[in-house]
Amino acid sequence: MQIKQEDDGKHGQFYIEVDGDRLAQMTYTWAGPNKFIIEHTEVDDALRGKSAGKQMVMKAVAFARDQGKKILPLCPFANSVFKKVPEIRDVL
């Protein structure tokens, strides 16, 4: 499952497309130059049970680590992933 990213400098998203259809997305907003806020995660029923949401959170964590940024997970789903996976909390 390939996770892509779009970012316009103010807002962005990680997303999954299948056959040209966007079936999952996790949106974020930049809160200054060093932090972004994960606002919402949505996964189509076609991808439920395939860890699509968690994979997008992990992609956001990898992005934050690579760029030296921090994450504020206001999205309840993303926040639950951070609570369950302590080894990714370094980007909080």
Average pLDDT along the chain: 97
Q: Tell me, yes or no, whether 76 lies in a domain.
A: yes
Range of the domain at 62: 4-87
Give this prediction's pTM.
0.95
Q: Tell me, yes or no, whether 54 lies in a domain.
A: yes
| Residue 69 burial (CB count, 10 A) | 16
Per-residue pLDDT tens digits for 51-84: 999 999 999 999 999 999 999 999 999 999 999 9
Residue with more model confidence, 1 or 86: 86
Q: Average the pLDDT over 14-33 and give the result.
A: 96
User: What pLDDT does residue 2 have?
Assistant: 94
Whichever domain contains 32, its CATH number is: 3.40.630.30
Q: Tell me, yes or no, whether 62 lies in a domain.
A: yes
Confidence of residue 1 (pLDDT cuts 50, 70, 90): confident
Q: Tell me, yes or no, whether 92 lies in a domain.
A: no
| Cα distance between residue 30 and residue 7, in whole Å | 10
Query: What is the number of domains present in the chain?
Result: 1
